[in-house]
A = this chain, B = another copy of it.
């Protein structure tokens, strides 16, 4: 769907907008193209929805068959825990293992069994009515399910997580089940056109992320329906709003021909999925630019790249295995003589945990060295520490120097 070539043509076309805008033929051609794009996107969405509905119906039919045979129906969910997780460098993300927990319909489980089926039913309704619900919406919806209503949101969240894990085995994400996160995504600016088909008419909105002034594009809760046009060289995933605003206001994306994404700490589901989809569909590398501390490295970067332990069933959709680590590295602290803070106990604990227990860091030697270097120096540095050398040092010196050696980025 997304194509870097089309994007390049568009970029060339953009240079002479006034001439072409007044000619009839190109206008019609571009209308025809837009209509064809809208059709393509609609077809893709309908196909995805078809798969979702089929899977829900198959699951329900199996239960129904068992009941007709007067057998006890059951549902088998993958076990969601660190112990049921594997990491292979080839796949590039934490993967959920084969352990299952089976929920059989008995007198004791009848309520949660019914709730699980009703929750799947809600998902089916949402797909059919082309709508969506947050976890909280789903909880409140259940208040009308009489005996099957949930008393606490934690209960409905757990049922939703089980359903999500179950369907993830068949390649479906929670967003495809139309359960969307409550939190918004991050902010985006740069060389990117986002194509977003209207929920009702299917008409495609073209959102040009170079045209937000000092503001930015805010990623929606669900990004499954989006596609992209870009000829950007890379995606820069940035930890802090401060650095994002600096790069955005100085149009760094123009200088470097890139796309800026503000993660604002640990990236939300929508932000991770957005980066992953964009990187996959347009084949653009992702560089992470975060604070040099155990939190930036093992929470923000590791979660972005391979996912997190207790939600490994999400990794296939949400992690960005193609991401590499631009900085700030422990070696940068030395090379750029950055102002530092001493590592706190919690930092040291987190770093040692990563070295000892985290399958990702255990697989990658360069990371072990980097973390050991940080522990030895006993300090951490924030990305904004580069401001010591001038507010725009990050734009004029640091990033250009770093980008000359992308192959030596930490994995």
User: Which chain B residues lie closer than 8 Å to A207 at the CB level?
Assistant: 211-213, 215
Distance between Cα atoms of A385 and B142 in the complex (Å): 11
Scan residues 172-196 of chain A and give those whose CB is less than 8 A from a CB of chain B.
Answer: 180-184, 187, 194, 196
Distance between Cα atoms of A203 and B23 in the complex (Å): 26
User: Which chain B residues lie closer than 8 Å to A220 at the CB level?
Assistant: 213-216, 245, 248-249
User: Which chain B residues lie closer than 8 Å to A215 at the CB level?
Assistant: 194, 196, 207, 217-220
Distance between Cα atoms of A24 and B264 in the complex (Å): 45
Q: Does A25 contact B (CB under 8 A)?
A: no
Q: Does A396 contact B (CB under 8 A)?
A: no
Q: Does A18 contact B (CB under 8 A)?
A: yes
Q: Does A27 contact B (CB under 8 A)?
A: yes
Distance between Cα atoms of A222 and B248 in the complex (Å): 12
Q: Which of A215, A244, A339 has the most chain B CB within a 10 Å cutoff?
A: A215
Q: Which of A132-140, A275-283, A351-359 participates in binding chain B? A: A132-140
Question: Quick check: A137 and B391 within 8 Å, CB to CB?
Answer: yes
Question: Quick check: B27 and A143 within 8 Å, CB to CB?
Answer: no
Q: Does A198 contact B (CB under 8 A)?
A: yes
Considering only CB atoms, which chain B residue lies closest to A381 in the complex?
Answer: B140
Question: Quick check: B133 and A387 within 8 Å, CB to CB?
Answer: yes
User: Which chain B residues lie closer than 8 Å to A225 at the CB level?
Assistant: 214
Scan residues 370-411 of chain A and give those whose CB is less than 8 A from a CB of chain B.
Answer: 382, 384-389, 391-392
Considering only CB atoms, which chain B residue lies closest to A18 in the complex?
Answer: B27
Question: Quick check: A241 and B183 within 8 Å, CB to CB?
Answer: yes
A sample of 8 more A-B contacts (CB under 8 A), given A141-B391, A184-B187, is A132-B245, A141-B387, A184-B244, A196-B212, A199-B214, A199-B250, A207-B212, A221-B241
Show the binding face of A for B, using Cβ within 8 Å.
Answer: 18, 21-22, 24, 27, 131-134, 136-137, 140-141, 143-144, 180-184, 187, 194, 196-199, 205, 207, 211-222, 225-226, 240-242, 244-246, 248-250, 262, 264, 339, 382, 384-389, 391-392
